[in-house]
Amino acid sequence: MTLTLSHGPLSGKPPKTVNYEIHGPQHRLLMHDFPRRVRAVFAGETLLDTRRGVLLHETGLLPRLYVPDEDLRADLLEATGHTTYCPFKGTASYWSARAGDRTAENAVWAYPEPLEPASWLRGYKSVYWEAMDQWLDEDEEVLGHLRDPYHRVDVLRTSRQVRVLTADGEVLAETGSPLLLSETGLPNRYYLPRADVRLEALKPSATTSVCPYKGTTEYWSLDGTADVAWSYPTPLAEAVKIAGYVCFAHEALTIEIDGQAE
């Protein structure tokens, strides 16, 4: 995410505060080795098993895993007539995954004859994450997508004074001991101890989301306004400090940091 989104050097709008220029296309590609074993499971069959995967970073997109053709189960793939065209990579061909009585249409793609600037894609295929039942990074299940090696999460104790106000000016939460979560390419977020939050004013929401760096969230709503706050009951190792803490972010709320509205 650092490289291709926000103000990363491969994003559409890299920062101006540098002493270099990148001479090349506005849309940029970067491929590098991903030196871990990755597997994808579909309908009880291991469709992909690789130790030779690569990550393709592409302007404005999350990185994608590509693997050598030989690291996919050819007997589970069926070529389709579907094609798409990318002006930076070329024409993509597609395959459906079939196992048992299940089919994932056009779940796999490749560039058999990539454009010259992306010629290194020849011999590699990629698989849609959402088309598979399970992904494993070594022996750990992947949440959402593979973690970008250029993405970082830091959780720090801080004495910032944080207040959360409703549209009516009512104090919903207030603390002098939040945790600051700093995540690459995203605004800082403040996580508040539950003891400093008026939880009785919030109602549990059915919404959940998955972050490959932090884990699975639970959400709360406020007086008919959906999902104004969230928490990670059992966060991943990188964010374990925020377990049970509550974070707020919604246009219906005012969040003050050291007396200043964000």
For the chain, what is the mean pLDDT? 95
Q: How confident is the model at residue 1 (pLDDT cuts 50, 70, 90)?
A: low
Query: Half-sphere exposure of 164 toward its Cβ, with a 13 Å CA cutoff?
Result: 27
Share of the chain above pLDDT 90, in %: 86
So what's the pLDDT on residue 58? Answer: 95
So what's the pLDDT on residue 205? Answer: 96
- When pLDDT is averaged across residues 225-247 and rounded to a whole number, the result is 96
CATH match of 29-141 with 2.170.150.40: yes
* Phi (first) and psi of residue 213, to 5 degrees: -105, -25
Comma-separated ranges of CATH 2.170.150.40 domains in the chain: 29-141, 153-261
Q: What pLDDT, in 10s, does the model give residues 68-114?
A: 999 999 999 999 999 999 999 999 999 999 999 999 999 999 999 99
So what's the pLDDT on residue 15? Answer: 81
CATH of domain 153-261: 2.170.150.40
Say if residue 24's pLDDT is above 90. Answer: no
- When pLDDT is averaged across residues 151-170 and rounded to a whole number, the result is 96
So what's the pLDDT on residue 224? Answer: 83
Q: What pLDDT, in 10s, does the model give residues 165-221?
A: 999 999 999 999 999 999 998 899 999 999 999 999 999 999 999 999 999 999 999
Decide the pairing of beta strands 203-204 and 218-222.
antiparallel
So what's the pLDDT on residue 95? Answer: 98
Say if residue 16's pLDDT is above 90. Answer: no
